[in-house]
Amino acid sequence: MSYVFYPGCSLDSTGKGYRLSTEAVARALGLDMPELPDWTCCGSTAAHQSNSLLSLALPAKNLLAASGKTMAVCCAACYSRLKVANHQIANAPDTRGRVAGVLGADYDGSTPVKHMLEIMRDEVGLDEIAGRVRVPLTGLRVACYYGCLLVRPPDVMRFDDPENPTLLDRVVAAAGAEPLEWPHKTECCGASHSITKVAIVERLSHDILAMARDSGADCIVTACPLCQLNLDLRQRDIEARFGDRLGLPILYFTQLLGLALGLEPDDLGLGSLMVDPLPMFAKKGIVARPGSGAAASAAR
């Protein structure tokens, strides 16, 4: 299958570590994913709250430009908006006509959209990933956090079981780590209220962080830049507000996978995380102790 990469706006700034690690992992696994030239924003929450036609036209413009290829997506919010647009345009001729009217070009809703997790499963294969692991993450207890938009609404997303998804768990297990059973896989972190109403994000994200800790997690992995940002950037404020000690590193799944494949922390953007994961990885013997020179794995 031929891919074209749609990074989305977050991956150019707050989600920089997600972009770096995705590109590094894709290179290591031999995936060719050139970036879609002149891609534009999917419209995100702002568009669907403001104007439903705009919320379809913005993704459709990109999907049309990617025509003939499969769109590879990392951000759960972009993934959701692109798939919703495909669903609505493909299933309602009048919607397709109205989108064509504002775009000035007809799009039929047929460009396939895949999340990087699905590409790991379908294109690379989980057995192949397991076979390429150079630094087994043995003993690392990971809470796999899916959030909302990868899995819901299930009839549009068709990603995984909406109440108990397992794809991220299986990718983490292929990397040699131990995915945990825990109940908050698909709870909401508060999403874009990160800017408009932080108190909501702090309460919801605290529930998720505390549950992960109480379930025995060494870290949380996410497949969404917004989830990662809320759990990571706001963690210190959350600790202060709720008088709770958390200290949980929040990684993009591509960072964890990259470490297992033997890539260097710097090439995976680990330095962009607010809660530094290196002390935890050092304790687990996955990377060398901070300050002990090279970031090379102790296992090598």
Contact residues toward another protein (CB under 8 A) are 9-10, 12-14, 16, 38-41, 43-54, 57-58, 61, 98, 101-104, 148-149, 152-154, 162, 186-188, 190-193, 195-198, 200, 203-204, 233, 271-274
- The span from the first CA to the last CA of the chain, in angstroms, equals 34
d(CA 181, CA 184): 9
**By C-beta, is 176 or 269 nearer to another protein?**
269
DSSP bridge partners of 143: 220
Question: Tokens 């507000």 belong to which residue?
Answer: 241
Residue 141 CB, nearest approach to another protein (Å): 25
**By C-beta, is 13 or 138 nearer to another protein?**
13
Residue 298 CB, nearest approach to another protein (Å): 25
Contact 103, 59 (CB under 8 A): no
Residue 173 CB, nearest approach to another protein (Å): 26
d(CA 205, CA 177): 24
Residue 280 CB, nearest approach to another protein (Å): 17
**Two tokens at 297?**
């794995």
Residue 63 CB, nearest approach to another protein (Å): 14
**By C-beta, is 15 or 258 nearer to another protein?**
15
d(CA 184, CA 166): 13
**By C-beta, is 13 or 292 nearer to another protein?**
13
Question: Tokens 């299933």 belong to which residue?
Answer: 91
Residue 106 CB, nearest approach to another protein (Å): 14
Contact 253, 120 (CB under 8 A): no
Burial of 45 (0-12, 13-18, 19+ CB in 10 A): middle
**By C-beta, is 138 or 196 nearer to another protein?**
196
User: How many Cβ atoms are within 10 Å of 244's Cβ, its own excluded?
Assistant: 12
Residue 105 CB, nearest approach to another protein (Å): 10
Pair type for strands 219-222 and 113-115: unpaired
Reported in sequence order, the residue ranges of the chain that DSSP labels E, i.e. its strands, are: 3-6, 70-73, 113-115, 141-145, 178-179, 219-222, 250-252
**Two tokens at 81?**
């908006």
**By C-beta, is 139 or 154 nearer to another protein?**
154
**By C-beta, is 235 or 297 nearer to another protein?**
235
Q: Within 13 Å of residue 85, how many CA atoms lie on the same side as its CB? A: 33
